[in-house]
Amino acid sequence: MNTTQVLWLVVYVLLFVGPAIYQRYHYKLDPEYFYKLGLRKKTGLQIHHAHWGLGWIFLATILMILQTLNVINIASFWFLIPSALGWGLFFDEIIPHLRMPGDDRDLELKVYVEAGPATIKLISYIAIAIVVVTLCIKLL
């Protein structure tokens, strides 16, 4: 492993653990901040930082797809930054979520079924956006 590779490995690890460290210390210093749920109130969605993490992971994936299709030509580290941030945010949220008690499977399945149409719409919009962005970049 050369010096540049070691450097990027260190950067990736720091970006991966950074969101968890930030969120944990932010909560310790200002727990009241976590009760200000403006975006949740405006959208009606239960948005957590794992969702933001998935957005970063999605961005990294799109960059990799565009690179693979030779639509863009960027250095590999541009995939690493959103990937590391995304996975860090995601795991910081998902680990505690796995430990939460969930005795009401009927409620979970009800929400899953009710969210079906919205899920299909969102996935469809994202798929269309991927195609449109790819075509637009390819035409440039």
Segment 77-128, tens digit of pLDDT: 788 899 999 999 998 888 777 777 777 878 877 877 887 788 788 788 888 8
Q: How many CA atoms, within 13 angstroms, populate the side-chain half-sphere of residue 42?
A: 4
Share of the chain above pLDDT 70, in %: 99
pTM of the model: 0.74
In degrees rounded to 5, what are phi and psi of residue 38?
-55, -45
The pLDDT of 58-69, averaged and rounded, is 86
Q: Please give the pLDDT value at position 125.
A: 87
Q: Please give the pLDDT value at position 55.
A: 93
Kindly tell me if the per-residue pLDDT of 20 is higher than 80. Answer: yes
